[in-house]
Chain A
Amino acid sequence: MKNKTNDRRNFLSKMLVTGIGGVGLLSSAANAKGRKEGGKVTLNEEQKDELFFIYQEEKVARDVYIKLGEKYPDENNFASIQISEQRHIDAARGLCEKYGVSIEGVDEESVGNFVLPVLQDLYDTCIALGEESLMDALKVGELIEVTDIKDLDHAINDMGMPDDVVRVFENLKEGSYNHLDAYQTAIARELA
């Protein structure tokens, strides 16, 4: 059963794994490193699909933090990290534009609304859990960042993305580590 799905993004399963794993060994796909056509690097269909999905998924994180920031206005992390998440969206959108990946159908301005039902369900669940208490909201933030890091690790190591895409993803991952640290510090503060 695993063979057919071991290159998927794992989505929330990554969110649920405790601790952050190290960088894995490169898969055979990693040797692809994009494809050069007439001197121009292009992405294969799977890489384009991955890029488009990452762009949509980054919006989930931003929108969750916007909503939880409204619920807990005294918790500065939600306000500051949502701004950073917008940069993640900008970066993912930039890559989509560079590689000709259409982002048609995604309304970035519409906070909390997703045309894809699985992302809507994910957003709704995160909000419902986060609204129960500040501690739960911080744990939701922690889980989202763990997911982001794992997803980016996968995109960096398993998809054979070109160097410029890998560089952007490495920067995003560094940002996610900072967010994770902020949420874990806040959780410790609430527990104290």
Chain B
Amino acid sequence: MLNCGNTYESLQPEEVVDRFYSSLYGGDLESVKHLMTQQSYFMTLESLGLKLAFKDLSFKEALENIEEDENFLQRVESGISQDLLTRSGHPQIDIQRVEPNGSDRMTVHYKEDGKVKNLYFSKEEDGWKINYYAGRKVA
């Protein structure tokens, strides 16, 4: 796990993709958090937490309130982190290319277990961050 903010700032988008997957499947959401915009991080939690929320009403309540209450956020992060650790195997990530998109966006094209995937990035004050809303082609 990385602890130094500067380390994240220096990462290039393709390095972030590798770090994202290794952190995610290692259940290390603290690192995942540093690799994404806050908006995309919460969206990631909401997607990953859906299965748990579907079966557990108290988790559902926590997931609904991650933005309002730090305790709920921690509960959700803990539950998802444990769930991620039970997932079998880390997907094989093969970076294909990095494509600039305007002056402050990038798209990393890669394959996840052979399937074509993209992660979008925006240049933030503290470096390149995964941003799910940055996929639109900028002229």
Q: Which residues of chain A have a CB within 8 Å of any CB of chain B? A: 1-2, 4-6, 8, 10-13, 15-17, 45, 48-50, 52-53, 56, 100-102, 104-105, 113, 115-118, 120-122, 125-126, 128-129, 136, 139
Contact = CB atoms under 8 A, between A and B. Distances in A.
Nearest to B119: A117
Nearest to A110: B116
7 contacts: A6-B67, A12-B43, A13-B46, A16-B50, A53-B132, A102-B137, A105-B135
Given A8-B43, A125-B47, 5 more contacts: A15-B46, A53-B133, A100-B139, A102-B137, A126-B50
B136 A102 contact: yes
Contact of B132 (A45, A113, A116, A129): A116
| Nearest 6 Cβ contacts at the A-B interface | A12-B46, A102-B137, A52-B136, A115-B118, A49-B133, A11-B43
Interface string B35-48: 00011101110111
A8 B39 contact: yes
Contact of A121 (B48, B64, B119, B139): B48
Contacts of A136: 54
B101 to A, nearest CB: 10
Interface residues of B, number: 37
B51 interface: yes
B97 interface: no
Nearest to A8: B39
A16 B50 CA distance: 8
B11 interface: no
B95 interface: no
B60 interface: yes
Interface in B83-113: 107, 112
B137 to A, nearest CB: 4
Contact of A128 (B51, B60, B67, B119): B51
Contact of A16 (B60, B120, B136): B60
A8 B112 contact: no
